[in-house]
Amino acid sequence: MLTERQLFLLQVLVDDYILSAEPIGSRSISKREDIHFSPATIRNELADLEEMGFLEKTHLSSGRIPSEKGYRFYVDHLLSPILLSDDEMRNIRKAYTERYYEAEKLIETTAQILSDFTNCTAIVLGPELLDTKLKHIQMIRLSENRAVLIIVTDTGHVENRVVALPDEVNGSEIERMVNILNERLIGVPLYQLKVRLQQEIHAVLNEHIHHYERMMIEIEHALSVNGPDQIYYGGKNNILSQPEFRDINKVIPLLNVLEKKDLIHGLLRSPKSGIQIKIGKENKLVAIEDCSVITTTYSVDSEHVGTVAVIGPKRMAYPRVVTLLDIISKSLTNNLNSNY
Amino acid sequence: MLTERQLFLLQVLVDDYILSAEPIGSRSISKREDIHFSPATIRNELADLEEMGFLEKTHLSSGRIPSEKGYRFYVDHLLSPILLSDDEMRNIRKAYTERYYEAEKLIETTAQILSDFTNCTAIVLGPELLDTKLKHIQMIRLSENRAVLIIVTDTGHVENRVVALPDEVNGSEIERMVNILNERLIGVPLYQLKVRLQQEIHAVLNEHIHHYERMMIEIEHALSVNGPDQIYYGGKNNILSQPEFRDINKVIPLLNVLEKKDLIHGLLRSPKSGIQIKIGKENKLVAIEDCSVITTTYSVDSEHVGTVAVIGPKRMAYPRVVTLLDIISKSLTNNLNSNY
DNA sequence: ATTAGCACTCGTTAACAAGGAGTGCTAACA
DNA sequence: TGTTAGCACTCCTTGTTAACGAGTGCTAAT
Of B101, B225, B245, the CB nearest to A162: B101
Fold: same for A86-128+230-339 and A134-224: no
> How far, in Å, CA of B186 to CA of A142, rounded?
12
> How far, in Å, CA of A231 to CA of A216, rounded?
30
Residue B227: band (very low, low, confident or very high) from pLDDT cuts 50, 70, 90: low
> How far, in Å, CA of B230 to CA of B227, rounded?
8
The pLDDT, as a whole number, for residue A294 is 98
> How far, in Å, CA of B65 to CA of B13, rounded?
8
| Residue A140 CA neighbour count, 13 Å, CB half | 21
* Region of residue A32 (phi > 0: left; psi between -120 and 50: alpha; otherwise: beta): beta
Q: Distance (Å) from the C-alpha of residue A254 to the closest C-alpha of chain B? A: 10
What lies within 8 Å, CB to CB, of A235 at 6+ separation is: A111, A112, A114, A115, A116, A119, A120, A121, A122
> Tens digits of per-residue pLDDT, A16-44?
999 999 999 999 999 998 999 999 999 99
Q: Which protein residue has its CA closest to C1' of D12?
A: A62
Residue B161 phi, psi (nearest 5): -145, 140
Considering chain A, what percentage of its residues have pLDDT values greater than 70? 96
> How far, in Å, CA of B173 to CA of B166, rounded?
12
Grouping H, G, I as helix, E, B as strand and the rest as coil, residue A285 is coil
DSSP one-letter code for A67 = -
Amino acid making up residue B82: I
Domain boundaries, chain B: 4-78, 86-128+231-339, 134-224
The pLDDT, as a whole number, for residue B256 is 96
Report the alpha-carbon angle B83-B85-B86, nearest 5.
120
The pLDDT, as a whole number, for residue A224 is 66
Estimate in Å the CA B39 to C1' C13 gap, whole number.
Answer: 27
DSSP string, A144-174: TTEEEEEEEETTS-EEEEEEEPPTT--HHHH
The pLDDT, as a whole number, for residue A105 is 83
The pLDDT, as a whole number, for residue B204 is 79
Residue B151 phi, psi (nearest 5): -120, 125
The pLDDT, as a whole number, for residue A67 is 98
Per CATH, the number for A86-128+230-339 is 3.30.450.40
> Tens digits of per-residue pLDDT, A127-186?
877 678 889 998 988 888 888 888 888 878 888 888 878 777 788 888 888 898 899 999
Query: What is the mean pLDDT of the segment spanning A271-282?
Result: 93
The pLDDT, as a whole number, for residue A308 is 97
> Tens digits of per-residue pLDDT, B55-97?
999 999 999 999 999 999 999 999 988 889 999 999 999 888 7
Topology annotation, domain B86-128+231-339: Beta-Lactamase (3.30.450)
Task: Give A303 or B3, the one with higher predicted confidence.
Answer: B3
> How far, in Å, CA of B274 to CA of B335, rounded?
18
Estimate in Å the CA A129 to C1' D8 gap, whole number.
Answer: 67
DSSP one-letter code for B265 = H
Estimate in Å the CA A26 to C1' D13 gap, whole number.
Answer: 20
Amino acid making up residue B286: V
The pLDDT, as a whole number, for residue A324 is 97
The pLDDT, as a whole number, for residue B12 is 97
Determine whether the distance from the CB of A25 to the nearest atom of strand C is below 7 Å: yes
The pLDDT, as a whole number, for residue B339 is 67
- Counting one residue from chain A and one from chain B, the pairs whose CB atoms sit within 8 A come to 94
Residue A180 Cα to chain centre, angstroms: 38
Query: What is the mean pLDDT of the segment spanning A94-115?
Result: 84
Task: Judge whether residue A233 has pLDDT over 90.
Answer: yes
Strand partners, B260: none
For residue A239, which of A253, A257, A249, A254 has the smallest C-alpha distance?
Answer: A254
Q: Are the beta carbons of B101 and A247 separated by less than 8 Å?
A: no
Residue of A nearest to B234 (CA): A259
The pLDDT, as a whole number, for residue A81 is 83
Query: What is the mean pLDDT of the segment spanning B14-21?
Result: 97
**Dihedral, CA atoms, B16, B20, B23, B27, nearest 10 degrees?**
-60
Determine whether the distance from the CB of B61 to the nearest atom of strand C is below 7 Å: yes
Task: Judge whether residue A106 has pLDDT over 80.
Answer: yes
Name which of A53-62, A133-142, B84-93, B207-216 the model is least confident about.
B207-216
Give the neighbor-by-neighbor strand order of the sheet with A134-143.
Answer: A134-143, A146-153, A158-164
The pLDDT, as a whole number, for residue B199 is 84
Residue B284: band (very low, low, confident or very high) from pLDDT cuts 50, 70, 90: very high
> How far, in Å, CA of A130 to CA of A47, rounded?
53
Task: Judge whether residue B226 has pLDDT over 60.
Answer: no
| Domain B4-78 coded CATH 3.30.70.420 | no
Cα–Cα separations (whole angstroms), residue B255 to A25, A51, A235, A255: 36, 42, 11, 11
Query: What is the mean pLDDT of the segment spanning B148-157?
Result: 85
Task: Give A104 or A54, the one with higher predicted confidence.
Answer: A54
| Domain A134-224 coded CATH 3.30.390.10 | yes
Considering chain B, what percentage of its residues have pLDDT values greater than 70? 96
DSSP one-letter code for B327 = H
Q: How many residues does chain B have?
A: 340
Residue A98: band (very low, low, confident or very high) from pLDDT cuts 50, 70, 90: confident
Q: Is-contact B308 B295, C-beta < 8 A?
A: yes
Of A135, A241, A252, the CB nearest to B140: A135
The pLDDT, as a whole number, for residue A236 is 96
Protein residues bordering strand D (Cβ below 7 A): A 36-41, 44, 58-62; B 23-28, 39-40, 43, 46-47, 50, 57, 61-64
Grouping H, G, I as helix, E, B as strand and the rest as coil, residue B67 is coil
- Selected for mutation to probe chain A from B115, B182, B237, B239 (highest A CB count within 10 Å) is B237
Residue B261: band (very low, low, confident or very high) from pLDDT cuts 50, 70, 90: very high
Name which of A130-134, B139-143, B240-244 the model is least confident about.
A130-134
Estimate in Å the CA A18 to C1' C17 gap, whole number.
Answer: 35
Of A154, A240, A252, the CB nearest to B241: A252
A129-143, A152-166, B146-160, B271-285 — most confident range? B271-285
Residue B277 Cα to chain centre, angstroms: 12
Amino acid making up residue B97: T
| Torsion sign, CA atoms A192, A195, A196, A201 | positive
Sequence-ordered alpha helix ranges (H) in B35-85: 39-51, 68-73
DSSP one-letter code for B200 = I
The pLDDT, as a whole number, for residue A29 is 96
